[in-house]
Amino acid sequence: MQKLVNRDVIGAGVLVLFSIAAWRQAAALPSQAGMFPRLIIALLLGFSLIYLLRSLWQARSVAQDTPFFSNLLRFSLALMLTVIYVLIFPRIGFFTTTFIFIPVFAFTIGARRMKSAFLASAVFTLGAWFIFVVLLDRRLPPEWIVTALTGGAN
């Protein structure tokens, strides 16, 4: 019997478990506020299940001698950055933290085209702002930098 030590199977399994945990967290939100997070989590769970099934199907034909981590240090740094991001964005602000996090994360995992990383960061941050503030009319907690520059004025 061949071992299923395939990085895709492991990654898909982690995504499925993460989706289930996130769904449980989103269940505590009020129905109006939790609708969008539950929609995104349901999509993530659906795609993760497809990814898992596809990975299990293909696991028999994939060579199993490649290591799970090609660079453990980069993985550890990326994981640490993600944890720091989750811990500090409520204090600094979602948009500011996200704008900084994306290029730093990209550099950490090995991307060297920083102009592209900053462009992607700006596009994603502006897109998130447009979706939450303009389309959904949801005010997020104030940004630290905006509060500091305006002296707390709204």
| pLDDT tens digits, one per residue of 123-139 | 998 988 888 888 888 77
What is the chain's Cα-based Rg?
19
* Domain range enclosing 42: 1-68
What lies within 8 Å, CB to CB, of 2 at 6+ separation is 59, 60, 64
Residues 74 and 131 in one domain: yes
Domain-terminating residue out of 46, 68, 90: 68
Higher pLDDT, 101 or 70: 101
Residues 80 and 98 in one domain: yes
Residues 147 and 109 in one domain: yes
Enter the pTM of the model.
0.56
Residues 112 and 45 in one domain: no
The token duo for 144 is: 């630290």
Instruction: Indicate the number of domains in the chain.
Output: 2
pLDDT in tens, 75-107: 888 889 888 988 888 788 888 888 999 999 888
Residues 4 and 54 in one domain: yes
- Alpha-carbon 48 to chain mean position: 14
Angle (deg, nearest 10), helices 31-58 and 7-26: 160
Residues 24 and 50 in one domain: yes
110: left (phi over 0), alpha (psi -120 to 50) or beta: left
Query: What SS3 state is found at 127?
Result: helix
pLDDT in tens, 35-56: 777 888 888 889 889 888 888 8
